[in-house]
A and B are shown apart, each in its own frame.
Chain A
Amino acid sequence: MIRITNLRKSFGSLLAVDGVSFEIPPGETFGLLGPNGAGKTTTINMLAGLLRPEAGSIEINGAADPGRAEVRRGLGVAPQALSLYGELTGQENVAFFGRMYGLAGERLKERVDWALDFAGLTSRRKDRVRTYSGGMQRRLNLACALVHDPETIFLDEPTAGVDPQSRNFIFENIEALKARGRTILYTTHYMEEAQRLCDRVAIMDHGRVLALDTVPGLIAAHGGSSVVEVEFDRPPADTSALPGKLEGTRVRFEAKEPLPALARLGTCGAGFLHLQVQQPDLETVFLALTGRRLRD
């Protein structure tokens, strides 16, 4: 269980995290979604005990101080910045961090093999990390955070600068971790990622949490209506039931619940040539909350 209450941190005059509160029950994948500079990394760093909050409290797996060794042993953090030794091989990196978490002997060997396999790097394990592609380094960055098999995992933008293939690989990995009941805090500025992976999402901007709910909950509350566009094969005979104004054979309308509206369109005596339903997503939610897009 992770609980933070009214966490605050500023750098000089800049308020980077401004009264953030949330709870993550065990086994949940929790997303922090926000643009660059929203304060996600700062929040994670405070949770991991690297930065001291100016105000607010942290509770992480029963302890108030994340700096304690017992807490750290159960915590795996993949930092946003790649943090690897380029002149060591992939295997040496993973083994080194494993040892730092107290692994040794057979157990270390077993976990190193697991982590390299998990990251899809078994065939490149003996190569220097300097020679890896960006995506491979990202995956290794993740493997180093997981080698000691932590219960609680913080992933800070784990797909930054990654090719689509590696990104998919990472998604599948995270889904596997979810399936094994790990508690995951996931930050990203890609709404698709939050939407696909996270049970609940907090939308952050300028150091504040603007909204927090499940993805459908956020959309229902802040997403507004779906936009439906229909092109008929001929002008419909009965236009009285149309939810919008007919222009030629096309009609465009907004609806909170697009399905009943579409069912009604089916009865107006014309076939569909073309149908497009644009549902609101987290992007729409962010736009509604801030008046800006997530990425420009």
Chain B
Amino acid sequence: MRAIWTLAIKDLRLLTRDRFGMFWVLGFPLLFALFFGFIYRGMSGGGDTGKMPVAIIDQDHTPDAQAFTERLAESKAIDLRTDLSIEQAQDLVRRGKLTAYVVIEPGFGSSWDMFTGGAAPLQVGRDPTRQAEAAYLQGILMETCFRVLRDRVADRERMHRDIRAWSEDVSGNENMNPVQQVVFTTFLTALDQFVGTVDADLYGRGTGAGSDTGAATPLAGIKEVAVARKSQREFSPFEITFPSAVLWGLIACTATFAMSIVQERVGGTFHRLRLAPIARGQIVAGKGLACFLAGLGVVVVLLGIGVLAFGVRVQNAPGLVAAAVCTALAFTGLMMVFSVLGKTENAVAGAGWAALMVFAMLGGGMIPQVFMPRWMQTAGSISPVKWGILAFEGAIWRSFSLSELLLPCGILTAVGVVGYLAGTAILARQDA
């Protein structure tokens, strides 16, 4: 292990002495984040205040729709208008006076019943040139839905009523097979009992709501403050550009370390390392560790700058750690594969950068995926860049829970492990 560590330290030291390398790893991504961040901010037209003008049209008129509108109006990122007809809103979006409008379609209230609907039927009309903000708005809408749902779960009487309705729904549903019906009925019975027996105070706290009812405990109060602050987020375009920038830094790490393997093979130092009393696996692992650590360093430095100076706020810190580790792992695996694409520096630089550019382009590293047609977004799924950006965005502003992060993180980890093993095996074969 000490040998691997020594090897990695040597590589990191070499990286810090390589001015070009450092530019691609840190300088360029930072420029990228700032450049596009300021462009997006200019596009939103709001200057420093950056409030998105959004209209909401309630066609549902249920208490749930009402609650949704109120919750959305609380968001400081949004300047909400409720006085427009759908035609007026469309016109304003077309003329650039509104970023988007949201229509709460009839049936919104009943669609909350989990077995009949799916997602809440919200229709969003948006200005196609403002897609970055539209993506951001989408995150806010999801969060608002979640908050309304949570308020509702916090209302015990209503919860009992809902559970009864769902139970009837399930037992009367002919599309559901008997086993599913038994499972759901058992689950709902247990849920009903839980809602009935849990201490009122604890219940309110557990759902993060209820502090505005009389029985607020200090703890519940703190919780409410935290929730409120979350909704005070202002739109920061840098929250969209910094995750992409991190991916650019990782791409540069990948290219740099893939090149450094070739340089060591061409320059004879790899030969010399193989004369030392260490295994070939250790030499390769040292390179991998260096790439991984450099990747983590890129994340820390870039997001650190984003957080300290550009209003990037991290919603899910453990999620961010997971995103950073898994993405760095993925790009370490890619590095190993690229390092064996050719036997000369030029071959690897050419093939490696070409592949990475395609990944970056498809994965939304150049133009965010929300700007792309749907088919291209789908094609982007082959790119680890997409999953890396998704993981970082999930942890920063998409309000992903840890379980939602599991998909991108799982894919990234798999890319890392498979790439590493394949690259190592090919290297061993080329060397024999």
On whether A144 and B271 interact (CB within 8 A), knowing A69-B277, A73-B277, A87-B17, the answer reads: no
CB nearest to B270 among chain A residues: A83
The answer to whether B277 and A101 touch across the interface, beta carbons within 8 angstroms, is yes
Interface size on A, residues (CB 8 A): 28
Among B269, B274, B432, contact of A85 (Cβ-Cβ < 8 Å)? B269
CB distance from A57 to the nearest CB of B (A): 20
Tell me which residues from 170 to 195 in chain B have a Cβ below 8 Å from any Cβ of chain A. none
Q: How many angstroms between the C-alpha atoms of A48 and B14 in the bound complex?
A: 28
Tell me which residues from 12 to 68 in chain B have a Cβ below 8 Å from any Cβ of chain A. 13-14, 17-18
Q: How many angstroms between the C-alpha atoms of A85 and B264 in the bound complex?
A: 9
- Can you pick out 5 interface pairs between chain A and chain B where the beta carbons lie within 8 Å of each other? A72-B275, A79-B272, A81-B267, A88-B14, A100-B3
Chain B residues with CB under 8 Å of A92's CB are 10, 13
Among B3, B6, B268, B277, contact of A79 (Cβ-Cβ < 8 Å)? B268
Tell me which residues from 45 to 81 in chain A have a Cβ below 8 Å from any Cβ of chain B. 48-50, 52, 69-70, 72-73, 75, 77, 79, 81
The answer to whether B277 and A83 touch across the interface, beta carbons within 8 angstroms, is no
CB distance from A140 to the nearest CB of B (A): 12
The answer to whether B274 and A50 touch across the interface, beta carbons within 8 angstroms, is yes
Q: How many angstroms between the C-alpha atoms of A75 and B276 in the bound complex?
A: 9
Chain A residues with CB under 8 Å of B17's CB are 87-88, 128
Q: How many angstroms between the C-alpha atoms of A100 and B7 in the bound complex?
A: 8
- Interface check A253, CB cutoff 8 A: no
The answer to whether B269 and A102 touch across the interface, beta carbons within 8 angstroms, is no
- Interface check B86, CB cutoff 8 A: no
CB distance from B266 to the nearest CB of A (A): 9
The answer to whether A72 and B272 touch across the interface, beta carbons within 8 angstroms, is no
On whether A87 and B14 interact (CB within 8 A), knowing A48-B275, A70-B277, the answer reads: yes
Q: How many angstroms between the C-alpha atoms of A75 and B267 in the bound complex?
A: 21
CB nearest to A101 among chain B residues: B276
Chain A residues with CB under 8 Å of B6's CB are 96, 99-100
Chain B residues with CB under 8 Å of A97's CB are 272, 276
- Interface check B278, CB cutoff 8 A: yes
Q: How many angstroms between the C-alpha atoms of A72 and B274 in the bound complex?
A: 10
- Interface check A84, CB cutoff 8 A: yes
Q: How many angstroms between the C-alpha atoms of A140 and B162 in the bound complex?
A: 80
CB nearest to A144 among chain B residues: B272
Chain A residues with CB under 8 Å of B13's CB are 88, 92
- Interface check B351, CB cutoff 8 A: no
Chain B residues with CB under 8 Å of A79's CB are 268, 271-272, 275
Among A70, A83, A88, A102, contact of B272 (Cβ-Cβ < 8 Å)? A83
- Interface check A268, CB cutoff 8 A: no
- Interface check A82, CB cutoff 8 A: yes
- Interface check B367, CB cutoff 8 A: no
- Interface check B376, CB cutoff 8 A: no
On whether A50 and B275 interact (CB within 8 A), knowing A79-B268, A84-B269, the answer reads: yes
Q: How many angstroms between the C-alpha atoms of A177 and B232 in the bound complex?
A: 75
Q: How many angstroms between the C-alpha atoms of A92 and B11 in the bound complex?
A: 12
The answer to whether A85 and B14 touch across the interface, beta carbons within 8 angstroms, is yes
The answer to whether A83 and B276 touch across the interface, beta carbons within 8 angstroms, is no
CB distance from B264 to the nearest CB of A (A): 9
CB nearest to A73 among chain B residues: B277
Chain B residues with CB under 8 Å of A84's CB are 269
CB nearest to B6 among chain A residues: A99
- Interface check B273, CB cutoff 8 A: yes
The answer to whether A83 and B268 touch across the interface, beta carbons within 8 angstroms, is yes
The answer to whether B269 and A50 touch across the interface, beta carbons within 8 angstroms, is no
Q: How many angstroms between the C-alpha atoms of A128 and B14 in the bound complex?
A: 11
Interface string of A2-13 (1 = CB under 8 A from B): 000000000000
The answer to whether B271 and A100 touch across the interface, beta carbons within 8 angstroms, is no
CB nearest to B268 among chain A residues: A83
The answer to whether B272 and A75 touch across the interface, beta carbons within 8 angstroms, is no
- A81-B271, A100-B276 are known contacts; what are 9 more A-B pairs with Cβ within 8 Å? A48-B275, A72-B275, A83-B272, A88-B10, A88-B13, A92-B13, A99-B6, A100-B7, A104-B2
The answer to whether A72 and B268 touch across the interface, beta carbons within 8 angstroms, is no
CB distance from A149 to the nearest CB of B (A): 14
CB distance from A22 to the nearest CB of B (A): 21
The answer to whether B18 and A87 touch across the interface, beta carbons within 8 angstroms, is yes
Chain A residues with CB under 8 Å of B18's CB are 87
CB distance from B277 to the nearest CB of A (A): 4
Among A87, A96, A102, A128, contact of B277 (Cβ-Cβ < 8 Å)? A102
On whether A50 and B277 interact (CB within 8 A), knowing A87-B14, A88-B14, A100-B6, the answer reads: no
- Quick one: which of B18, B267, B275, B276 has the most chain A CB within 10 A? B275
CB nearest to A69 among chain B residues: B277
CB nearest to B11 among chain A residues: A85
CB nearest to A72 among chain B residues: B277
Q: Please provide the 10 A-B residue pairs with the shortest distance between their CB atoms, ordered closest to farther.
A: A83-B268, A69-B277, A72-B277, A100-B276, A83-B272, A81-B268, A87-B17, A99-B6, A73-B277, A83-B269
Chain B residues with CB under 8 Å of A128's CB are 17
CB distance from B53 to the nearest CB of A (A): 53
- Quick one: which of A84, A85, A144 has the most chain B CB within 10 A? A85
Q: How many angstroms between the C-alpha atoms of A73 and B269 in the bound complex?
A: 17
Q: How many angstroms between the C-alpha atoms of A72 and B275 in the bound complex?
A: 7
CB distance from B415 to the nearest CB of A (A): 30
CB distance from B257 to the nearest CB of A (A): 14
- Quick one: which of A48, A52, A81, A83 has the most chain B CB within 10 A? A83
CB distance from A54 to the nearest CB of B (A): 13
Chain A residues with CB under 8 Å of B7's CB are 100
Interface string of A78-117 (1 = CB under 8 A from B): 0101111101100010001101111010000000000000
Q: How many angstroms between the C-alpha atoms of A48 and B278 in the bound complex?
A: 13
Tell me which residues from 344 to 369 in chain B have a Cβ below 8 Å from any Cβ of chain A. none
Interface string of A108-135 (1 = CB under 8 A from B): 0000000000000000000010000000
Among A83, A88, A99, A101, contact of B271 (Cβ-Cβ < 8 Å)? A83
Chain B residues with CB under 8 Å of A100's CB are 3, 6-7, 273, 276-278
Chain B residues with CB under 8 Å of A77's CB are 272, 275
CB distance from B311 to the nearest CB of A (A): 37
The answer to whether A50 and B271 touch across the interface, beta carbons within 8 angstroms, is yes
Q: How many angstroms between the C-alpha atoms of A104 and B2 in the bound complex?
A: 10
Chain A residues with CB under 8 Å of B277's CB are 69-70, 72-73, 100-102
Chain B residues with CB under 8 Å of A102's CB are 277
